[in-house]
Structure 1
Amino acid sequence: MKYRTLGPDLTVSALGLGCMPMAGVGANMYGAANEAESIATIHRAIELGVTLFDTAEVYGPLINEELVGRAIRGKRDRLVIATKFGFRFGDDGKVSGVDSTPANIRRACEGSLQRLGIDTIDLFYQHRVDPNVPIEDTVGAMAELVREGKLRFLGLSEASAATLRKAAAVHPIAALQSEYSLWERDIEEEILPTCRELGTGFVPYSPLGRGFLTGQITSRDDLPEGDYRRNDPRYSEENFAENLKIVDVVKRIAAAHGVSGAQVALAWLLAQGDDVVPIPGSKRRATLEDSMAAVEVSLTAEDLTALDRAAPRGGTAGPRYGGPMMKMVRL
């Protein structure tokens, strides 16, 4: 494994592990998961030198953090545990809206610490910007938890460049997490340059286009019933074939290097800068091992140019989310 730095001094593995598929938002979000295999996947990641593990209160809700907590018990040393807050839950346990009030931040932090079985959260993200709470108030409350020793570093997720600037004026922001991949490059226009100006690291989620860029999904019929991606606009009947044109180039480059499509897609992201730390999600050891091998893949200048041409910014067919979820990003 290789290592990179987020913000001024948070050292992490060049690739982290996105734990959401192990017990995500709703049942079978990316196909069914097996708890024993999920925990074995986390253990294997630690063996491979992965240090950054990403979860969230809303995954499950709650049960993903509990799973990660069980997996890291007795293995906490040198790990960087990242989790997220920012939602309100009804009496039925379902999400009832965003909530980044100071009181909810403290409630979420205390709950995450307990479920993860740790004394300090290494990286605490606001999961989605709350338009009803000034970001200065939110970050101020997060900073208070840093002073209390309950958090080490702060992060934002899916925030706009303007919001990031306001947040960083209150407390350093070590990382901004947003979707970034060969089929989602809009952050390159303003958000990524702002991160670099402010010294904030960038953590791409869905770096494999929710599995599309691996080349393993050749039709919608490959998705199991109930899979979230059946409702993903980019997986829709009208957009699927157009987006496969990106995958064709990924496959060609992968074949030339004798590696997998996933490794090419991740290697492209790693080549975008030493401040970029993707977190591919996995719930099985086989896919984990394949993804983590991307740190050893060196793409040529010709490879990078071909990928840029195949997947230019704004060139993917369809929006990355449906309407309601799109309204919650880049605020």
Structure 2
Amino acid sequence: MKKNRLGNSELFVSEIGFGCMSLTGNYTEDERIIHEAIDGGINYFDTADLYDFGLNEETVGKAIKEKRQDIILATKGGNEWGEGIDGWRWNPSKNYLKNAVKDSLRRLDTDYIDLYQLHGGTIEDPVDETIEAFEDLVKEGNIRYYGISSIRPNVIKAYAEKSNIVSIMMQYSLLDRRPEEWFSLINESNISVIARGPVAKGLLTDQFEQRLKEDGYLNYSNEELKKTLSDLKKEAESYGISLQQMALRYVAGQPAVAAAIPGASKLSQVKDNISSAEVPPLSEELGEKLQRITKEDFYENHRD
């Protein structure tokens, strides 16, 4: 599978990665799914300490234990839970993040994390302090590189200007093209996008009728969504591929994107994801046609 350099780092990630939040919680089944992904050429696995309050990290850590040297392992932090906390709370402080990394290392059963990401963030956060925590963790050898997971323009700009982030995780798909506005800035800053949600919760698959809901999706009404998905499926069929393959190829084909990370809770879904890497890049003509079929949109909040 093609591998792309993540920002200006020495990490080369498979263009189709694996979003681990979708795992089943059944360790035996999850291990089979993860190993199928590795055998299919996927080397980038993305989890977070908040997923199942640490259990997801434990599952991933066990499953990749014997293949750790072949894996680019990413996790996220900044959401604190524990005694005296109702659910979880946001905490991007230096002290918390440095302790959270130690907990993630223990759960993942590894000596280092390849990519550690801030799991959210606002412009009111102590950004400089958070960056200090990341830089300390790199120097201490706990993490190799760091990034952020955010769709907020003012947060993205602040970290692009002030820090050494190598990646920005953003929800991005044919049905959510809001990140495209920021691709030029991201490219110019030698940062890569990690695209989560590239098949839009299963809407961008041939079985989209089963996923439709009355309230539509983002700024698509239900009727708009039905028509858009039908039109997209026709284009995929004329190209001789599935809607899912086309959706993943569109996202992975953007120069700013290093990896698209669909999830999978079944072996068949992993195989479907991997198959998209075998599809040739979409033509410029088809890409432009897909953009005409879908909506160009922008983040309206959290911007100057």
Question: Normalization by structure 1: what TM-score?
Answer: 0.83
Whole-angstrom CA distance in 2 between matches of 1:301 and 1:149: 42
Residue 233 of structure 1: how far off its partner (Å): 5.2
Residue 248 of structure 1: how far off its partner (Å): 1.2
Q: 2:118–2:148: 8 Å Cα contact kept in structure 1? A: yes
Residue 161 of structure 1: how far off its partner (Å): 4.1
Residue 162 of structure 1: how far off its partner (Å): 3.8
SS of corresponding position for 1:153: strand
1:164 aligns with 2:146: no
Which one of the candidate residues 39, 47, 63 is aligned to 2:39? 47
Which one of the candidate residues 59, 62, 65 is aligned to 1:73? 65
1:213 aligns with 2:204: yes
Counterpart residue number, 1:14: 15
Q: 1:89–1:95: 8 Å Cα contact kept in structure 2? A: yes
Counterpart residue number, 2:287: 304
SS of corresponding position for 2:103: helix
Counterpart residue number, 1:270: 252
Whole-angstrom CA distance in 1 between matches of 2:27 and 2:225: 32
Residue 159 of structure 1: how far off its partner (Å): 4.8
Counterpart residue number, 1:2: 2
Give the aligned CA root-mean-square deviation in angstroms. Answer: 2.6
Which one of the candidate residues 199, 204, 216 is aligned to 2:195? 204
1:127 aligns with 2:110: no
Q: Deviations over 1:234-292 (max 9, x none)?
A: 359x9333212221122112222332211010011122216431101112111111112
Q: Deviations over 1:278-327 (max 9, x none)?
A: 10111211111111211222323332122111112129xxx9xxxxxx98
Q: 1:140–1:171: 8 Å Cα contact kept in structure 2? A: no
Q: 1:8–1:174: 8 Å Cα contact kept in structure 2? A: yes
Change (3 A) 1:52 1:289: same
SS of corresponding position for 2:201: coil
Whole-angstrom CA distance in 1 between matches of 2:51 and 2:246: 28
Whole-angstrom CA distance in 2 between matches of 1:37 and 1:241: 37
Change (3 A) 1:201 1:308: same
Residue 34 of structure 1: how far off its partner (Å): 4.1
What is the identity percentage for the equivalent residue pairs of Structure 1 and Structure 2? 31
Which one of the candidate residues 249, 252, 262 is aligned to 1:280? 262
Q: 1:65–1:116: 8 Å Cα contact kept in structure 2? A: yes
Q: 2:187–2:256: 8 Å Cα contact kept in structure 1? A: no
SS of corresponding position for 1:178: strand
Counterpart residue number, 2:273: 291
1:109 aligns with 2:101: yes
Whole-angstrom CA distance in 1 between matches of 2:53 and 2:222: 30
Whole-angstrom CA distance in 2 between matches of 1:182 and 1:92: 41
1:314 aligns with 2:267: no
Residue 142 of structure 1: how far off its partner (Å): 1.0
Whole-angstrom CA distance in 1 between matches of 2:228 and 2:284: 18
Q: Deviations over 1:20-74 (max 9, x none)?
A: 0115xxxxxxxxx643222111101111111100100111121111110111111
SS of corresponding position for 2:227: helix
Q: Which 5+ residue runs of structure 1 have no aligned equivalent?
A: 24-32, 223-229, 320-325
Whole-angstrom CA distance in 2 between matches of 1:89 and 1:131: 22
Counterpart residue number, 1:35: 27
